[in-house]
Amino acid sequence: MPQHILIVEDDEALRQLYGICLEREHYTCTLVGFASEALEVLSAGDVDLMLTDVNLGEKMSGFDLVKQIRQSTDYDTLKILVITSFPDRFQDTADLNISGILKKPIHYTNLVQAVKDALTLTDDS
């Protein structure tokens, strides 16, 4: 069964691009534009990894979304990758329990490798 990736990106072209890249690698992808939609998807189904942009163009940023998710034990096994144009602004993210930060623009191979790496990490590694 393919692993399920939730892509949260308010830029429709990038959202579609990320989805195409990951579906080519045989992942199942759900694409949403806002944090509120992401929370609905997470509550309704089994997601293995969430890929979220930091600036989502609504009240809740990608980091706010991650913080809210990490407050619930329902998502303890969810792997999270964050996308930003300014990764140096996010030096201290240990409390967010994220698997990585990707810098925009993201090259196809870097995106795929980051997802593979995050999904193969175990909680005790």
The model's pTM is 0.92
Tell me the per-residue pLDDT of 70-123, one tens digit each, with 9 for 90 and over.
Answer: 999 999 899 999 999 887 766 666 677 899 999 999 999 999 999 999 999 754
The proportion of the chain whose per-residue pLDDT surpasses 90, expressed as a percent, equals 71
The position carrying tokens 């913080």 is 67
Domain boundaries, the chain: 4-107
CATH of domain 4-107: 3.40.50.2300
Alpha-carbon distance of 67 to 82, in angstroms, equals 12
